[in-house]
């Protein structure tokens, strides 16, 4: 059976199953109304910001615009869904979980803490690459004076949030593959869950190596995808040139750029696996309590089913210049 045939059979089977269930509930109009709640059917399905055909648009600026639109929409316009998932803070990563982690905020903080643990001496200048809304930058202020903390992002809107969250830091719009700082400027660099958007990882790593002082460290978390074809499929991803599939390939790239004293840890179960299980449980709890209607629940679940199909290895990385 071809992949297309399997896809069509899956769609037909699921459509038939869902239709039968909705028909049974709809026999009593009040029950179907309870299931739907106040949902507006004109709303765009979750995940459609990055949908579309093959990614034919080339160039950093086009990619930056698409990534900006995608994440600005998720971060600033998807508040209701994010609230249900437990995003009661400005972290926007999938976290690093253990058996004692119970909220997404705790997992996000634990992820950053694990990366900061790779930096034995927290002094000098540090750069937060792809800083998001600035929660990670604010956390750096627990270790560094504000004047020693830099943050960059391609979104002006997210940089504005970072300036509010981490007052006094040096936050500015900048592309991670075109860093304008001088050579040997930073003592350490932090990058949380962003390199899969860069055009490319190699360019970013070369730039990071250039602006780090001798002995400085790059610490990052990253998510790999199952296939280079995924990078062709979605407009928010760069070209297949950015594809890496294994921790060994990641290590080889770091070495080729010139980094040493490498730590490359596979933490897939503690990152994506635990996050996925948390979300599935959390949205069902919210649905049971009436905080989500059937359409929101289905949107979230199928977004996560889809992401689970294409997500590969999750890594924690420390590399020294």
Span 222-239, average pLDDT: 88
Report d(CA 209, CA 228) in Å as an integer.
25
Residues 43-57 have pLDDT tens digits of: 666 655 444 455 554
Tokens of 250: 């990641």
Residue the block writes with tokens 């709303």:
43
Quote the pLDDT of residue 274.
97
Span 258-267, average pLDDT: 98
Asked if 304 contacts 278 with a C-beta cutoff of 8 angstroms, the reply is no
- Sequence-distant (6+) residues with CB within 8 A of 256 are none
Segment among 113-117, 254-258, 281-285, 311-315 with least mean pLDDT? 281-285
- Sequence-distant (6+) residues with CB within 8 A of 238 are 63, 197, 198, 199, 200, 231
Q: Each residue of 208-240: b (16+ CB within 10 Å) or e? A: bbbbbeeebbbbbbbbbbeebebbebbbbbbee
Span 192-206, average pLDDT: 96
Per DSSP, the chain holds a count of helices (H) and strands (E) of 12, 7
Report d(CA 109, CA 130) in Å as an integer.
16
pLDDT band at 230 (very low <50, low <70, confident <90, very high): confident
Most confident of 233-237, 291-295, 313-317: 313-317
- pTM score, two decimals? 0.87
Report d(CA 177, CA 154) in Å as an integer.
11
Sheet (strand 170-173) strand order = 170-173, 149-153, 126-129, 186-192, 212-225, 311-320, 260-266
pLDDT band at 28 (very low <50, low <70, confident <90, very high): confident
Asked if 137 contacts 191 with a C-beta cutoff of 8 angstroms, the reply is no
Mean pLDDT over each residue of the chain, to the nearest integer: 88
Report d(CA 306, CA 50) in Å as an integer.
13
Segment among 15-24, 213-222, 223-232 with least mean pLDDT? 15-24
Quote the pLDDT of residue 90.
83
Q: What percentage of the chain exceeds 90 in pLDDT?
A: 60
- Residue 316 backbone phi and psi in degrees, to 5: -110, 135
Give CA torsion, residues 16, 299, 196, 138, to 10 deg: -160
Tokens of 23: 């028909």
87 pLDDT above the threshold of 80: no
Quote the pLDDT of residue 43.
63
Nearest to 92 by CA among 194, 208, 235, 207: 194
pLDDT band at 76 (very low <50, low <70, confident <90, very high): low
Report d(CA 157, CA 74) in Å as an integer.
12
Quote the pLDDT of residue 57.
47
Span 22-26, average pLDDT: 81
Quote the pLDDT of residue 44.
63
Residues 271-308 have pLDDT tens digits of: 999 999 999 999 999 889 988 888 888 888 888 898 89
Q: Which position has the higher pLDDT, 88 or 126?
A: 126
């Amino acid at each position: 059976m071809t992949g297309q045939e399997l896809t069509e059979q899956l769609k037909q089977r699921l459509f038939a199953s869902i239709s039968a269930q909705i028909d049974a509930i709809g026999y009593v109009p009040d029950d179907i109304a309870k299931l739907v709640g106040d949902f507006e059917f004109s709303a765009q399905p979750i995940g459609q910001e990055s949908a579309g055909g093959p990614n034919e648009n080339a160039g950093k600026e086009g990619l930056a615009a698409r990534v900006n639109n995608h994440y600005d929409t998720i971060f600033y316009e998807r508040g209701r869904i994010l609230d249900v998932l437990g995003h009661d803070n400005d972290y926007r990563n999938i976290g690093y979980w253990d058996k004692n982690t119970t909220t997404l905020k705790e997992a996000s903080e634990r992820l950053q803490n694990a990366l900061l643990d790779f930096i034995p001496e927290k002094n000098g200048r540090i750069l937060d690459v792809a800083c998001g809304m600035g929660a990670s930058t604010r956390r750096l202020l627990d270790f560094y004076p504000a004047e020693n903390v830099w943050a960059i992002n391609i979104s002006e809107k997210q940089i504005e949030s970072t300036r509010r969250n981490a007052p006094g830091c040096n936050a500015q719009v900048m592309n991670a593959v075109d860093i304008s700082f001088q050579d040997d400027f930073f003592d350490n660099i932090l990058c949380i869950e962003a390199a899969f958007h860069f055009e490319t990882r190699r360019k970013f790593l070369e730039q990071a190596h250039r602006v780090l002082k001798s002995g400085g460290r790059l610490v990052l978390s990253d998510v790999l995808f199952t296939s280079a074809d995924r990078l062709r499929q979605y407009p928010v991803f760069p070209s297949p040139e950015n594809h890496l599939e294994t921790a060994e390939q990641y290590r080889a790239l770091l070495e080729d750029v010139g980094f040493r004293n490498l730590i490359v840890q596979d933490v897939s179960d503690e990152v994506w696996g635990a996050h996925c299980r948390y979300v599935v449980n959390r949205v069902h709890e919210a649905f049971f309590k009436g905080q989500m209607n059937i359409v929101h629940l289905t949107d979230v679940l199928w977004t996560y089913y889809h992401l689970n199909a294409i997500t590969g290895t999750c890594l924690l990385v420390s590399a020294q210049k």
